[in-house]
Every structure is written in C-alpha cells, then in structure tokens.
Amino acid sequence: MPITSTPAQTPVQAPALHDPLVLPNGQTLKNRTAKAAMEEALAEAGQLPGISSQKLYRRWAEGGAGLLITGNVMVAPDALTGPGGLVLEAGTPLAPYADWARAAHAGGARLWMQINHPGRQVFAALGNPGYAPSEVALDMGKFGKHFAPVRALTVAEIAGIVRRFADTARAAREAGFDGVQIHAAHGYLLSQFLSPLANRREDGYGGPIAHRARLLIEVVRAVKAVAGPDFAVAVKLNSADFQRGGFDEADARAVIGLLNAEGIDLLELSGGSYESPAMQGRTADGRTLAREAYFLEFAQDLARLAHMPVMTTGGIRRRAVAQQVLASGVAVVGLGTALAYEPDLPTQWTTVEAVAEPVAVNWKNKAISGLATMALARRQLRRMASGDEPTRNVSPFITLVLDRWRASRLTKRYLRWRQSAAASAR
C-alpha cells in the first residue's frame, strides 16, 4: 500500500496595516487602523457639531485611517459627560451632523458615530441626576463630591433609554454616517449595568451576567432594527473593569457569547472606568498593564471567542506594536491619544516607523494627573480644530487650569440651553 504524505499546513499570514477589511454586513474598511473615540468637547450652541468638528475630522480624514469613530454623542440632553458634549435625539436638526459627516469622509475613511449614555459618570455642575442601575455612588474619594447624586432607573425609564439609542442611530444614518458604535465600556451606563459592583438590582436587569447584559442586548437589537443592511453596528466593551469584584474577563467572555448571536460588525475591547482609569494605563486592582497596547493580552484571548472582527485600543503609538496587534488575531488597531499628537500617523506608517509621544504627566496625585492628561489631549484637538498643528510645547499645569476655565464657561452655556428648552416645552 503506497504511503502518502500529508501536505504541511501553510501558516496563516497576519494581515498588514494597509490591508482592507470586509465587515460582516459587507461594509469595507480601506485599512486596519481606526481613529478611536476621544472626548473632543467641541459642541457649539445647542450641543451641536460645527466648524470646529468639521476641521478636526477633515484633518483626521486626511491622516489615512480606515475608520473614524467619533467622540461619544449622547442620546439624551440630560445625560452628558461634560458641557462640551454633543447630543443627538429625535428632532435634533440634522444639517450640522450632515456637514460633519461630509467633512469626515474627505479621505475615504468610514465614519461611525459612537453613541452613549454616561449614567452616573456625570458632573454635579450640569444639574442632572446620575442615572444608574442602582443607587451606588462613584468611589472617587474626595473627588466624589463633584459628581451628581445617583438615582436608580425604573424599568420604564430603561425602556425609554433603549428607544433613545435607536433614535440616535436612526438620526446618524440619516445624517450620512456609515455606522454607530454602542458604548458599553469605561464605566458609562451600559457598562454600569454589566458591573456587579454598580448593578445590585434584583429584577431581570441584575444578578447573573445574562441579566446584567440584558440592557446592552436590548440596545443592540433596537439599533439593528433601525440600521438597515448597509449600516454598521459595533459595540465597545471592557475586557475588564480592573476593579476587585467588578466586571472581569469571565464576564467579558459571557457577554461576547451573547453578542455572537446578535450579528454585530465589530467589537472594540478596552478597559477601565473613572474609578479605575485603565484606558490611561492605570488600574484600581493593582494589575500591571503593558506599556503599549494595554489590553492586547486580554483582546487576543477574547478574539478567539468572537464571531465578529475585534479591535483593541489603549496606548498604541508605534507601528511595530500595531503590527503585533494584528499578528495576535485582532483585526483592527485603534489609535486614540496618539492621533491627538500625530493625526497622520496611519499615513506615516506606510513608509516609516513613526512614533506618537504624548506629553507625559507624572504628578504624585494620580487623579489630578489623569485630568491633566485628558486636558492636554483636548488642547491638541482644539489646535487642530482651529487649523493649527499639535505641539508638545505645552505646560500640563497651565493646560489643566485653562481646561477647567473653559469647562466652567461651557457649563453656563449648557445650563442656559437646558433652561431655554424647558421654557419652550411649557
């Protein structure tokens, strides 16, 4: 009997950064780099995008990324992470959003709107409650007084929030966006429902992970119902909250199993919250994150379970690290703060090993240090929105002071807008 040999298995070659990606719904990304969401705080009067948003996204559009995901757009006017945030709900004028979409499409990238509800992660100065699954306040130490009092949502209010996510997704599609990303990470409302620390409900939205994930699944289904076949629906999920007793990797695996049945187009894996800012490289449970690609170890493990393409974001600044991400089985490399300092990094990576180096803030007070780091990134975004280039020649202290002064001015404008809307509704 003749002996036959089995041909050796040819190793599957990892995709390159410039390779296109076809998503489950047929939408194609021109390459594997994505501008991840950052809080831009550029809203104009009425919490609408304007010329500043258009200029900033045109700059990123020309920078070479295959996908641009906006900073979070809120689904309700009484639920903002900050006074410079955008709001899109049923009845919001669409022209400003359509103008924004046209500017962002200038370089051929796909444009997705990140849609979000902050839940309890809202500042008291904005005058709104901190809506949450349960009356559990943020554990922010002496900074907790700056956050709104927490109020648990009723089942009827939860249903209303689901409708709001669908309304925002429908409006985004009508304005010319290519998709939405549902934000279920970083300690915002959907993430709060997923967390056993924040969610202590005893009804169908609390308890085991399948119940804690119920709101996320209801939002995904409501959004997909209005999306249409060519409109992408993605989810941003924590690989872990990095808090003892919180949402962990086992929970993340369970949620991915539930999302596998929903037919979403991309899953972004990140981590952390206001209480444990792992998205800035710092955790509350003592775990050490990688210097770059903070969540890659978790993402490559979870990607094996996912039926949809996976993206990971967190501290990636070098091409070699980005290529390592793709080689690990992750489909898309998310760039956040790096693109605040080097907006055309994806284009640079086609020819050279460019590096984006944010301004480092290593103050003793970690909470203040984190605020300064975010203020520095927002300052770079405002420079680009004004037509200038980013610069590292800035003072973290002065930047933080100016950022707080600007937030105070925007808060007063937001409160006037809310008062005017309330008077018109009477």
More confidently predicted of 80 and 287? 80
Residue 406 lies in a domain: no
pLDDT band at 298 (very low <50, low <70, confident <90, very high): confident
pLDDT at 193 > cutoff 80: yes
Does residue 227 lie within any of the structural domains? yes
Q: What pLDDT score was predicted for residue 283?
A: 46
Q: Kindly report the CATH number assigned to the domain that includes residue 165.
A: 3.20.20.70
The verdict on residue 375 lying in a domain is no
| 237, pLDDT greater than 60 | yes
Least confident window among 201-210, 227-236, 237-246, 249-258: 237-246
Q: Which of 229, 247, 237, 296 has its CA nearest to residue 267?
A: 237
pLDDT at res. 272: 59
- For 191-203, the DSSP string reads HHHH-TTT----S
How many Å apart are CA 115 and CA 97, to the nearest integer? Answer: 13
> Do the domain assignments include residue 400?
no
**pLDDT band at residue 274 under the 50/70/90 scheme:** low
Residue 372 maps to a domain: no
pLDDT, residue 296, reads 73
User: Does the pLDDT of residue 20 top 80, yes or no?
Assistant: yes
Residue 263's pLDDT band (boundaries 50, 70, 90)? very high
User: How many folded domains does the chain comprise?
Assistant: 1
Q: What is the pLDDT of residue 240?
A: 63
Strand-strand pairing, 28-29 and 21-22:
antiparallel
Residue closest to 306 by CA, chosen among 239, 242, 241, 232? 239
What is the torsional sign of CA 160, 163, 168, 171? negative
Q: What is the pLDDT of residues 112-163, one digit of tens each?
A: 999 999 999 999 999 999 999 999 987 767 777 888 999 999 999 999 999 9
Whole-number average pLDDT of the chain: 89
Residue 208 has pLDDT above 80, yes or no: yes
Does 39 fall in a domain? yes
Nearest to 231 by CA among 160, 302, 303, 168: 168
Pick from 74-88, 109-123, 280-294: least confident: 280-294
- Domain membership of residue 7 (yes or no) is no
Span 210-239, mean pLDDT?
Answer: 95
210 pLDDT higher than 60: yes
Q: Which of 22, 45, 20, 46 is nearest to 33 (CA)?
A: 20
Q: Is 418 inside a domain boundary?
A: no
Host domain of residue 275: 21-359
Q: What Å distances lie between residue 287 and 75, 148, 367, CA to CA?
A: 33, 29, 17
